[in-house]
Amino acid sequence: METGIPLPAIGDLSPDLQGVVKGFPLNVILMMANAPASTKALVGFANTILFQSRLDARQREIAVLRVAHVTRSPYEWAQHVNLATAVGVSAREMEIIRSEEPVASLDDDGNLLCRVADEISRDVRLSDEGLRLILARYGVREATELILCVSYFNMISRFLESTRVPLEDQPVLDWLKGNPSG
């Protein structure tokens, strides 16, 4: 049996945290509830990246899938495959994201997004050339949002893998279809 931090029982959480977990019924959120002072802030930050960013959802999901691959996070990959499919990332593109080192067979946008994910995930700091390229392509706001997105999902993959968060039985996409704010 694999060692891991146990998911808390929803009934053991404060009413406030129960509301957060029920609003986002994902094991990653439930695991975050083991650190109650951080849960709302992390969920709020995720909400801004996923639902309030100007960065195109398809671009975001290409970058997140590459982070999931590079950081070896099966949970992050499985959840974001569903989201990526919903925003138009093809199975062929996902296979390229998962298999090429470096990614060179996507369109220019996809290759650049994967490069950004690779550099931040592996080197921590985006190269000067990479930064110049995303500033030229996306402008200041979306370049910043891309860096925040990649950085956030790097943190999440490390959290997922270090705590051993189990994948849900219900795919996240099914949950989002029923979520009025998603």
Walking along the chain (182 residues) 10 residues at a time, the average pLDDT comes out as 87 95 92 96 94 95 98 95 94 98 98 98 98 98 98 97 91 54 40
The pLDDT value recorded for residue 142 is 98
Does the 54-178 domain belong in CATH 3.40.50.12280? Answer: no
C-alpha to C-alpha distance for 83 and 44, rounded to whole angstroms: 18
What's residue 182's pLDDT?
39
What per-residue confidence (pLDDT) applies to 180? 39
pTM metric for this prediction: 0.91
Q: Which of 58, 34, 56, 32 is nearest to 45 (CA)?
A: 32
**Cα 33 from chain centroid (whole Å):** 18
Q: Which tokens in the block code for residue 35?
A: 């650190």
Structure tokens at 166: 């189990």
CA separation for the pair 125, 135 (Å, rounded):
15
Structural tokens at position 119: 């550099």
**CA-CA distance, 22 to 139, in Å (whole number)?**
36
Neighbours of 85 (CB within 10 A): 15
Instruction: Please give the helix or strand (H or E) that residue 128 lies within, else none.
Output: helix 128-163
d(CA 37, CA 19): 14
What per-residue confidence (pLDDT) applies to 181? 41
Q: What is the pLDDT of residue 176?
A: 58
Residue 24 pLDDT: 87
